[in-house]
Chains A and B, each alone.
Chain A
Amino acid sequence: MTASPTPRDPCPLRLDGVVKRFGDFTAVRDVTLTIDPGEIFALLGPNGAGKTTLIRCVAGLARQSVGAISVFGFDTVTEFRQTRRLLGLVPQELNFDPFFTPHQSLMIQMGLMGVTPDAAWADQLLETFALTDHRDAYTRHLSGGMKRRLLVAKALVHRPRLLFLDEPTAGVDVELRKDLWAEVRRLREQGTTIILTTHYLEEAEELADRIGVIHKGRLLLVEERDALMHSRRRPGQALLDLAAPLDQLPEGLPPGAELRRGGRQLCSPWSDPEELERTLRRVREVARIIDLQVERTRLEDIFVELIAEAEQR
């Protein structure tokens, strides 16, 4: 069982009317979704929205109550051997076996996934995730960030074509987070399809090709990141620090512009780059600008807005 099964369908993941109930509680409600080959898909939602439950259903850690899930054309229930061989999962919780070292953990995971253990590949993964110096240390002695990197390495031992990253950078410092982002991009370049859940919305904004928002088990929207950012864009703000205070606003600025900090800062709304350029020109005619900050609509703003809309329905 060393060779990975040949995909029956190029589509990495199809969810068709998936419902997951726990007794009377419905965690996932009628989710239908198709993931494109080679994309990074960010699944966003507040705590308890159903993101992890959905991932658990795909990975075989939970079984959906209703609906069908297929990974590259294989059914996750009846053809679980194929689907599990094709997907990798980085879980949200840090888990580690205190009996084994990082190198042993990778070798064991390879074997469990049905791949003939390959020490050189394990060493390469350790190097990729900067764990070579801790190759033979017990995992209980690793720092939180190292354990998180080891989890990612473990998920890659069988070279999955579809990778789930469930909160991969939770509790991880900025530098490591950037390293993980680079690794995610590298995996995508190699053809791996990636599904990411995260609470850091700038992470989704930075990495994702498409974004799905789930709330109370229901998928609210699925859209291209750029299209979503464009369609939900709201006027931004430009903050201009001035060398000398102004007594009054220059003429011809957009409605809503105002002076702050005793005239030393000018705040002006903008909705397109031309308008911003015009504002800058007019201010420069009467004052010297010593600093400029441009605030634009962030994914976080859109996310908050979407959840608020859903709550009102």
Chain B
Amino acid sequence: MGWNLTGLKTLFMKEVRRFSTVWKQTVLSPLITTSLYFLVFGVALGSRLKTIDGVPYIEFVVPGLIMLSMITNAFLNTASSLFQSKINGTLLDVLIAPLGATEVVLAYVGAAMLRAFVVGGLVFLVAVAFTGFHMAHPGWALLFAVAVSASFALLGILAAMWAEKYDHLSIVPNFVLTPLTFLGGVFYSIDMLPAPWDTVSRLNPVLYMVNGLRYGLLGSSDVDVLWSAATLCALLAVLAATTWYAVHTGYNIRD
């Protein structure tokens, strides 16, 4: 008996319906938050800052803000959905179904990526309204958007499986995602940092994600785009393998 494609599609649609039912919270809210970042850092403060690598500051922050919204939404979609269903017992519906780990992971990640692309796309449209349309290398932009949203959707699954209470779940966004994204070159170039912080920043994977998308949209980057792509693909592969194994063995969700 092969893959349960009907089950995969159903789980994907269920997850999409879950976030689209509460679209004010899942789509509109992050859009407003990111638009405020544009207003504060781009419009209000940006006019007082110089250009970075010949790019006006308001344009410079666009890729980082898109990446910030995609990372957050991809992570939160899988993490909150899976954790809530684990706590309220409805995960049982999925666990008793003839679904393999591959179908479960693809469905959850697919839905989270869709939410990340919807929010990221809307943030991009807001940016276009503020800065005009920029798409230097569409292929690279798409590659980084796909890889980043998939990676953080996978991380969300792992966090939800590991977490035993809401406190645990908030550790990742509060103590990992927020510091990494804010220190990942969203609002500044690492060339602006004094030593050794410019070197330390290179250990932050989000730096490569932000700069990868910046290269795709604006054509400029603090780090080599191939190196960024390789780093991100390696991270994605590790997260995919770990998540698949965790779901396959039922870590913390089956006895």
Contacts and interface: CB of A to CB of B under 8 A. Distances in A.
A85 to B, nearest CB: 5
Q: Which secondary structure dominates chain A's binding surface?
A: loop
B174 interface: no
Interface string A76-118: 0001111011000101011111011000000011111111110
A91 B98 contact: no
Given A61-B96, A85-B98, A53 B10 contact: no
Interface string B13-28: 1100110010000000
A3 B11 CA distance: 19
Interface string B90-112: 10111111111000000000000
B201 interface: no
Contacts of B18: 99
B171 to A, nearest CB: 25
Given A59-B96, A60-B95, A114 B7 contact: yes
B48 interface: no
B221 to A, nearest CB: 41
B85 interface: yes
Contact of A22 (B3, B11, B95, B255): B255
Contacts of B97: 84, 109, 112-114
Contacts of B7: 1, 111-114
A5 interface: yes
A117 B13 CA distance: 13
Interface in B155-204: none
Nearest to A74: B1
A61 B254 contact: yes
A51 interface: no
Contacts of A1: 1-7, 98
Contact of B1 (A22, A56, A81, A91): A81
Nearest to A110: B10
Among A1, A79, A91, A154, max chain B CB count under 10 A is at A1
Given A95-B88, A112-B10, A84 B96 contact: yes
B98 A114 contact: yes
A194 B4 CA distance: 26
Contact of A108 (B10, B95, B250): B10
A97 B94 CA distance: 12
A111 B13 CA distance: 10
A97 B85 contact: yes
B192 to A, nearest CB: 45
Interface string B70-92: 00000000000000010011101
B6 A115 contact: yes
Interface in B185-244: none
A80 to B, nearest CB: 7
A114 B1 CA distance: 11
B99 A112 contact: yes
A63 B254 contact: yes
A12 B94 CA distance: 22
Contacts of A34: none
Given A60-B95, A81-B100, A111 B1 contact: no
Given A2-B6, A61-B92, A95-B93, 8 more contacts: A1-B2, A62-B254, A82-B1, A94-B89, A99-B18, A111-B9, A111-B13, A112-B11
Interface of A: 1-2, 5, 20, 22, 53, 56, 59-63, 79-82, 84-85, 89, 91, 93-97, 99-100, 108-117, 154
28 contacts: A1-B2, A1-B5, A1-B98, A5-B1, A20-B255, A56-B255, A59-B96, A62-B255, A63-B254, A63-B255, A81-B1, A81-B100, A85-B98, A89-B92, A89-B96, A95-B92, A95-B93, A96-B88, A96-B90, A97-B85, A100-B17, A109-B93, A110-B10, A111-B7, A112-B11, A112-B97, A113-B7, A115-B6
